[in-house]
């Protein structure tokens, strides 16, 4: 269990995290979603006691991280930036961590095997590819067999095979009853991995919900209807409180009534239906919709002339 209450972090005037409250419970994978710069890594550093909150509080297992008796055996973390000396071997890196919590060198070798780094265990970590570095970071997080796991963008730099491996690993860890908190700015990745999501934008909580609820809440869910008597159907639907838009191809996009209600209404009228197709928003769209207003760093795809006035920024 991880609990944040009114958690805030200000860097000078910059409000990186602002009044954030959420709960991460055991047994499920909880995704931590937000656009770039929304404060995910900062929050994770505060959970790990690395950064001191400007206000508010965050606890793991009901304690401050600093007060845990066996930190590495209780909480494992893969943080954003590589935290490895490039001159030290993978084995030495894990050994020095294991020793802090009285773990054996056999445990180190076990982990190297698990993440597939046994063959390069004695090579200097500076020579590792991004993916290998990430695997070493994951090994460090799992070293103490902790109940609580934090992963900041774990699939960063991994190939499709590696991504699938991490996904299954996270799910497996949650199935064992562990608390798994994993950040990403890719909703599509979370859709495949997480059961719950904590969504933030500009350091503030936007929503904490299950993936399923996130989908059904989205206004991007609508039903596409085609009918030769579209106008009649539209009028009837609107009488029932639905919002109906006529698309360019003559089809109707109905919001506020589901396919069952529309079908029954059509039968009652009666009007002929040529198509009745519920359209669910992709999670990506649901996420975009939620975070739209809180994206700080927009890229532009259609840049105007450089010297035009009122240039986009």
Partner 1 sequence: MSTQTTPPPAMQKALPPGRYGFFDLVRSEWTKIRTVRSTMWTIGVTIVLGIGIGALVCALTRSHWSSQNIGQRVSFDAPATSLIGLLFAQFAIGILGVLVISAEYSTGTIRATFSAAPNRSRVFAAKIVVFGVLSFIVAELTSFVAFFLGQFLLSSPATHATLSSPGAFRAVFGGGLFVCILGLIGMGLGTIIRHTAGAISAFVGILLVLPIITAALPNQLSQDVRKFMPDRIGVDVLTTNGQHVGAFSPWVGLLILCVYAVVLLVIGASMLEKRDA
Ligand X SMILES: Nc1ncnc2c1ncn2[C@@H]1O[C@H](COP(=O)(O)OP(=O)(O)OP(=O)(O)O)[C@@H](O)[C@H]1O
Q: Which residues bind ligand X (CB under 6 A)?
A: 11, 14, 16, 34, 36-42, 80, 185
SS3 107: helix
Answer for the pair 71, 234: CB distance below 8 angstroms, yes or no: no
* Element at 247 (helix H, strand E): none
Name which of 146 and 203 has its Cβ closer to partner 1.
Answer: 146
CA 166 to chain centre: 14
Answer for the pair 259, 278: CB distance below 8 angstroms, yes or no: yes
Task: Give which of partner 1, ligand X, Mg ion, none residue 271 binds (C-beta under 5 to 8 Å, depending on kind).
Answer: none
Name which of 13 and 306 has its Cβ closer to partner 1.
Answer: 13
User: Does 134 contact Mg ion by CB under 5 A?
Assistant: no
Residues in contact with 270: Cβ distance below 8 Å, sequence separation at least 6, in sequence order: none
Task: Give which of ligand X, partner 1, Mg ion, none residue 39 binds (C-beta under 5 to 8 Å, depending on kind).
Answer: ligand X
Q: How far is the CB of 170 from Mg ion (least distance, A)?
A: 17
- According to DSSP, the residues that pair with 149 across neighbouring strands are 76, 180
User: Does 239 contact partner 1 by CB under 8 A?
Assistant: no
* Binding test (CB under 8 A) with partner 1, winner from 36, 55, 102, 284: 102
* Binding test (CB under 5 A) with Mg ion, winner from 38, 41, 134, 179: 41
Site size toward partner 1 (CB under 8 A) is: 56
Other Cβ atoms closer than 10 A to 41? 20
The Cα 169–Cα 32 span in angstroms is 17
Query: What pairing do the DSSP bridges indicate for beta strands 196-201 and 29-33?
Result: parallel
Which residues contact partner 1 (rule: CB under 8 A)? Answer: 1, 25-28, 45, 48-52, 65-66, 68-75, 77, 79, 81-89, 92-93, 95-97, 99-102, 140, 144-147, 174-179, 195, 212, 215-216
């Amino acid at each position: 269990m991880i609990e944040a209450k009114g958690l805030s972090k200000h860097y000078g005037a910059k409000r990186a995290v602002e009044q954030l409250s959420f709960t991460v419970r055991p047994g499920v994978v909880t995704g931590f979603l937000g656009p770039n710069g929304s404060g995910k890594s900062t929050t994770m550093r505060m959970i790990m006691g690395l950064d001191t909150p400007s206000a508010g509080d965050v606890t793991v297992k009901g304690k401050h991280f600093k007060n845990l008796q066996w930190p590495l055996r209780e909480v494992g973390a893969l943080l954003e930036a590589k935290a490895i000396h490039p001159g030290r071997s993978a084995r030495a890196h894990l050994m020095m961590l294991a020793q802090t919590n009285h773990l054996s060198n056999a445990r180190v070798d076990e982990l190297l095997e698990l993440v597939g780094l046994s063959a390069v265990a004695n090579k200097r970590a500076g020579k590792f590819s991004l993916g290998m570095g990430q695997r070493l970071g994951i090994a460090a997080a799992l070293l103490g067999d902790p109940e609580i796991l934090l992963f900041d963008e774990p699939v960063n730099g991994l190939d499709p095979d590696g991504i699938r491996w991490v996904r299954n690993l996270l799910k497996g860890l949650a199935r064992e009853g562990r608390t798994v908190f994993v950040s990403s700015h890719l909703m599509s990745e979370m859709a495949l991995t997480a059961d719950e999501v904590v969504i933030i934008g500009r350091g503030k909580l936007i929503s904490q919900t299950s993936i399923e609820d996130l989908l059904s809440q989205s206004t991007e869910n609508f039903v596409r209807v085609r009918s030769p008597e579209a106008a009649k159907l539209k009028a009837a639907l609107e009488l029932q409180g639905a919002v109906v838009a006529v698309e360019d191809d003559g089809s109707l996009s109905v919001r506020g009534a589901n396919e069952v209600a529309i079908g029954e209404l059509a039968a009652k009228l009666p009007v002929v239906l040529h198509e009745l197709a519920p359209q669910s928003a992709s999670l990506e769209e649901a996420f975009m919709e939620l975070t739209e207003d809180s994206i700080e760093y927009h890229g532009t795809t259609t840049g105007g002339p450089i010297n035009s006035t009122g240039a986009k920024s």
